[in-house]
Amino acid sequence: MYRLLIIISPIVLIITLLFNTITPAEEVKPNSCLSCHEDVFIKAASYRYRHSVVTEQCPLCHISPETKDNIIALRNLPTLQREWLIYFDQLSNDQGYQAEIVLTDSNGKSCAPDHIDIVKKNIWEPDRQRASLELKKLFRVAVDEIQKRGFVRATISWDTDVPATSDIEYGLRGERPGTFKINDLYTRNHKIILNGLKHKSTYYFRTVSRDIYGNTLRSEEHTLDTSGEFTRPTELKGDDAALPVVEHMQVFRMPGNKGLYLKVSANKLSEISVKIKEIKNISKNHGVGLTAARYSRIDICYKCHSHDSSHPVGIKAVSPKTKTPDGLPTIEDGIITCVTCHEPHGGERVHYNRFDFKQDLCMRCHLQKYSI
């Protein structure tokens, strides 16, 4: 016991000296690793062949360099609106997220980014809003514009009393109608641009909107004639000098749906851009988390060692001439990494070899003769 203490104390001194002089890539301090993983350091420092990076920078290989800004969904919606309901399907129940919202008005002026945390306590009960989000009216269906280039392009718009999806069914008489859908976006003012229409034809169309409960309304049949160009004069509403501002935002979940709805309203007609980021739990021990196996065993090694310095890695034994070795560490079910052959923390053998490279190294995996 006493002997152990005597051995340890000079090392601790060296550690302190060393670690005060380097700046780690992350905010995680290397000496904080040693309070729990001192054994690893002591072993690394006592190897015959030392890997200096290990005794100097524990976090480099192990602590994820990812920042908090890990964007997992991005939506840019270019039509001017005052209210949006956006559905995000891939958000997990256990992870916290943050939505960043930027509004831009028709003059190109944007508000400063606004944020809402998507965490359990901020997600509303689904039923309370029921009455106010139920679709009852679909109206003001109009052809806004017909433009003729190589093909014809038509802009169709309509309104609904609550936020709902925008679908259109259209076609020529006697043909099966096509459909165009905008998924996951619920608005009151709908606009769809149909591209690739034929010249001098009469198309029939119906607009369709569905609310978040699945209630669907379909307009009566309308026609659009592609013989001439045409633009409906638009009333520019609310185009004053005020900056766009987020007036209200909320997050809610519907029973039976795994995703989440984000509801945003603005003081004036704007375009919206939404980024969803993961909120990383920063722990004192492991920062934003430990790195993936491939990163700490391959990617980071290339930071200092050249790609052609050694054997191919990131591969599995696929040919009948090779096999995956027993007793050597691989990842993801047999993928060879740098540390399949080398010890990462340094070692007793030259090149930190896991075993004697002179003795049939290659034959552990290659069934045909190889020599170095």
For the bound state, the minimum distance from the C-beta of residue 96 to ligand HEC, rounded and expressed in Å, comes to 19
> Which residues are CB-contacts of 221 (< 8 A; sequence separation ≥ 6)?
204, 205, 206
For the bound state, the minimum distance from the C-beta of residue 308 to ligand HEC, rounded and expressed in Å, comes to 9
Residue numbers at the binding site for ligand HEC (CB under 6 A)? 28, 32-33, 35-37, 40-41, 44, 50-54, 57-63, 285-286, 290, 296-298, 300-301, 303-305, 309-313, 315, 317-319, 321-322, 325, 328-329, 336, 338-342, 344-345, 350-352, 357, 361-362, 364-366, 370, 372
Nearer to ligand HEC, 126 or 289 (CB): 289
CA distances from 126 to 123, 180, 213, 317 (A): 9, 29, 11, 52
Nearer to ligand HEC, 233 or 327 (CB): 327
> Which tokens in the block code for residue 92?
């997990």
Q: How far apart are CA 300 and CA 238, in angstroms?
A: 54
Amino acid at 120: K
Tokens 């766009």 identify what position? 244
Nearer to ligand HEC, 257 or 281 (CB): 281
For the bound state, the minimum distance from the C-beta of residue 242 to ligand HEC, rounded and expressed in Å, comes to 49
Amino acid at 132: S
Longest dimension (CA), the chain: 98
Instruction: Give the dihedral of Cα atoms 84, 85, 91, 95; nearest 10 deg.
Output: 70
Nearer to ligand HEC, 24 or 163 (CB): 24
Nearer to ligand HEC, 151 or 302 (CB): 302
For the bound state, the minimum distance from the C-beta of residue 60 to ligand HEC, rounded and expressed in Å, comes to 5
For the bound state, the minimum distance from the C-beta of residue 23 to ligand HEC, rounded and expressed in Å, comes to 13
First to last CA, the chain: 46
> Which residues are CB-contacts of 135 (< 8 A; sequence separation ≥ 6)?
160, 161, 162, 164, 209, 210, 211, 213, 215, 216, 217
For the bound state, the minimum distance from the C-beta of residue 119 to ligand HEC, rounded and expressed in Å, comes to 23
Nearer to ligand HEC, 229 or 348 (CB): 348
> Which residues are CB-contacts of 68 (< 8 A; sequence separation ≥ 6)?
277, 278, 279, 280, 282, 288
Residue 228 CB-half CA count within 13 A: 3
Nearer to ligand HEC, 122 or 285 (CB): 285
> Which residues are CB-contacts of 228 (< 8 A; sequence separation ≥ 6)?
146
> Which residues are CB-contacts of 352 (< 8 A; sequence separation ≥ 6)?
47, 49, 51, 342, 343, 344, 345, 346
For the bound state, the minimum distance from the C-beta of residue 46 to ligand HEC, rounded and expressed in Å, comes to 12
> Which tokens in the block code for residue 153?
């392009």
Nearer to ligand HEC, 178 or 329 (CB): 329
For the bound state, the minimum distance from the C-beta of residue 105 to ligand HEC, rounded and expressed in Å, comes to 46
Taking the CB of residue 106, how many other CB atoms lie within 10 A of it?
Answer: 15
Nearer to ligand HEC, 214 or 312 (CB): 312
For the bound state, the minimum distance from the C-beta of residue 66 to ligand HEC, rounded and expressed in Å, comes to 14
